[in-house]
Structure 1
Amino acid sequence: MIRTNIELLEYIEAFRNSIHYFIEEEIQKEQKIIYQNRNSSFGYIIKNGIAKCFLTDENGNDFIQEFFSEGELFGEIEIINNTNNFCTVESISEMTVYKISKTNFQYLLENDQKFNNLIMKSFAKKIQYKAVRHSYNQLHSIKSNLFRLQQSTLDFMEIISKNDIASYLGISLRSLNRILKDKS
């Protein structure tokens, strides 16, 4: 499922010219924006395009946590907790993002009630999404999980590579190809 947060994006776009905290930046396809276990000076809100958020284990295997698109925020947890990045975020397509410094992000959290509420809603939606996703994955077969992904975004298989779909489902590319072959 490709996550969006249009309400946050609309808020940023409505006020970005008056508060000047958000810097628009172009991101190339397959460019890493933040790196796992490294510090980042910015939080990011996606204006357009798609990114993947993934964790790399000690054996070098990637597990995709989420796919982000318009309005989704990343890097915020690390800003709030003042920690290194938990995951790597990499663009799947060309993207435009709004980036905001740690200082400005924290200032808005403390002084802009609407911004604070939107960030809280974003956290709540992320927690809810992960809870539903993980419980669904535990209770259903990989084939059912793949079908659910395809239903959530009609052109999912054209947007997201097979390798990324396999990483998202926590299976090998070979297993994914076998499921797709059996399905056809």
Structure 2
Amino acid sequence: MKEIENGLAQELLEIYGERKSSSPEKQREMEVRPGESIIVEGQVPDAVFIILSGSMKVHLNMAKGSEYLVALEGPGKLLGEVEALTGSLAACSVTALEECRVATVLPADYETWLAEDHRFALLVNRILSFRLQSFTRRAAVNLSYPLEYSVLKMIKMQFEEHGSRVLQISKEEIANYLGTSLRSINRIFKGLQDKNILAPNKEIEIISIDEVDRLMELHENK
């Protein structure tokens, strides 16, 4: 699944690069500072965005003021494409976790791009299909495996995404993403620290990614 996701992201960056080379005057890019939102929940996005560099979170604001983490997105991810075609309000906010650079495509230009470029239109279809499949798979994993497995899977996903043993995500965000309580996440983390998989630090730091893989395999083979 990760290889497919990376392949889709890389292909989108390639197609955007080709379009930028052929008509540079029509392409717009902007820098986004940490904490700045390019899409705001409940508002109509003013553009479709392609992440060129950096990491962003897709999140929902809950009624009691808490935040529900939907996804973490990096380079090659497409955002706001559904709202551009439907004119609907954004269901989630998208906020930069670090310095980011994004391409911005106005809704009218996005529709023109889809109509003119069959390869791009097919890619968007594949991206949407993969996203739906990923949400379905995530729900199935949460039902089929214990919480520890889901936490390990997310830790590994973050490590592969950023290549760093120190994760750019909090325990609270992991709890929201997995639909569980912070207390349950703290219990899982204490167990992983006792197994020398995670360091007993305030930030989430992986001691051994090999042990993450080994423990995931044990869960999968039960």
TM-score by length of 1: 0.91
Structure 1 residues 120-154: Cα deviation after superposition (integer angstroms, max 9, x where no partner): 11111111111111111122222110011122333
Query: How many residue pairs align between the two structures?
Result: 184
TM superposition shift of 1:166:
2.1
User: Unpaired segments of 5 or more residues in structure 1?
Assistant: none
Alpha-carbon separation, structure 2, partners of 1:121 and 1:156: 31
| Structure 2 residue corresponding to 1:145, chosen from 141, 150, 159 | 150
Matches within 5 A, 1:8-157: 8-19=12-23, 20-154=25-159, 155=164, 157=166
- Tell me the TM-score normalised to structure 2 length: 0.76
Runs in 1 of length 4+ with deviation above 6 angstroms?
none
Q: Secondary structure at the match of 1:159?
A: coil
Q: Is the 8 A contact 2:172 2:182 kept in 1?
A: yes
**Residue of structure 2 aligned with 1:167, choices 154, 173, 176:** 176
Taking only aligned residues, the RMSD between alpha carbons, in angstroms, comes to 2.0
Bigger Cα Rg? 2
**Percent identical residues:** 26
Kept in 2: contact 1:21–1:104 (CA 8 A)? no
Q: For each residue in 1:60-110, what CA deviation from the matched residue of structure 2 results, as whole angstroms up to 9, or x when unmatched?
A: 332211111010001001111111111001111111100100110011112
Q: Is the contact made by 1:150 and 1:157 (CA closer than 8 Å) also made in structure 2?
A: no
TM superposition shift of 1:175: 2.7
Pick 1 or 2: higher relative contact order, CA cutoff 8 A, min separation 6.
1
* Paired residue secondary structure (1:60): coil
Q: Which residue of 1 aligns with 2:192?
A: 183
Q: Which amino acid aligns with 2:126?
A: K
Tell me the distance in 2 between the aligned counterparts of 1:78 and 1:66: 17
Distance 2:175 2:103 in 1: 29
Question: 2:158·2:167 contact (CA, 8 Å) conserved in 1?
Answer: no
Deviates more, 1:133-142 or 1:83-92: 133-142
**Which runs of 5 or more structure 2 residues have no equivalent in the other structure?**
194-222
